Amino acid sequence: MSGLGLRAQLLATARAMNSQGLNQGTSGNVSVRDGSGLLITPSALPYDRCGEDDLVWMDGEGKVEGRRKPSSEWRMHAAIYRYYPQAGAVLHAHSLYCTTLACLERPIPAFHYMVAMAGGDSIRCAPYATFGTQALSDAAIAALEDRSAALLGHHGMICLAADLDHVLALAIEVETLARMYLQALQVAEPPLLPRAEMAEVLRRFADYKA
């Protein structure tokens, strides 16, 4: 998607959320940092009916430029950009397996080394807060400390990355891990990798990205 304009990239990512099974209907949202603000998907408009002009630009305080209302979760997106300067794109979804774990208030522990893709030895689950509220933004910010993905209690998942391509790939990876973890739990509580091993995996991931 790198050859597309920013609005085209955002729209392509939003539609890919549906085609990849991360999203259903009008749930979920995605944004990208754009200058002093952010470009975000609109509220209550299916992505297959959404055009580039329907995407909403807004500053970090909620001032909107566009003909549509921004996603109801704009506060969470704006807060992530404010607290985490490494975030160039943010994706929130109600993906099936992540949301199942979130409804159980269960984090994803180090049952598989790829959990380190989210930046640590676990993928935390934030406590429940009503959608679209400051409380949800605060919970997400805390769960994402030193991480690039988290579950949102009784709600879904949230990811941040440097750009739209990477945030979509991360969201797909986290959903895959959630599915594997839930499948493992059908047999038994899986053994976890030691912290020292996860630290080594994180070191190797950092070398790989360098």
Catalytic residue flag (residue 189): no
User: Are 38 and 78 contacting, i.e. CB atoms less than 8 angstroms apart?
Assistant: yes
Which of these, 107, 116, 91, lies nearest to 172 by C-alpha position? 91
Which residues make Cβ contacts (< 8 Å) with residue 189, sequence separation at least 6?
Answer: none
Which of these, 193, 198, 39, 33, lies nearest to 118 by C-alpha position? 198
Which residues make Cβ contacts (< 8 Å) with residue 142, sequence separation at least 6?
Answer: 126
Which of these, 38, 9, 161, lies nearest to 91 by C-alpha position? 161
**Residues in the chain, overall count:** 210
Catalytic residue among 52, 61, 65, 73: 73
Alpha carbons within 13 angstroms on the beta-carbon side of residue 87 total: 28
Q: Which residues are catalytic?
A: 73
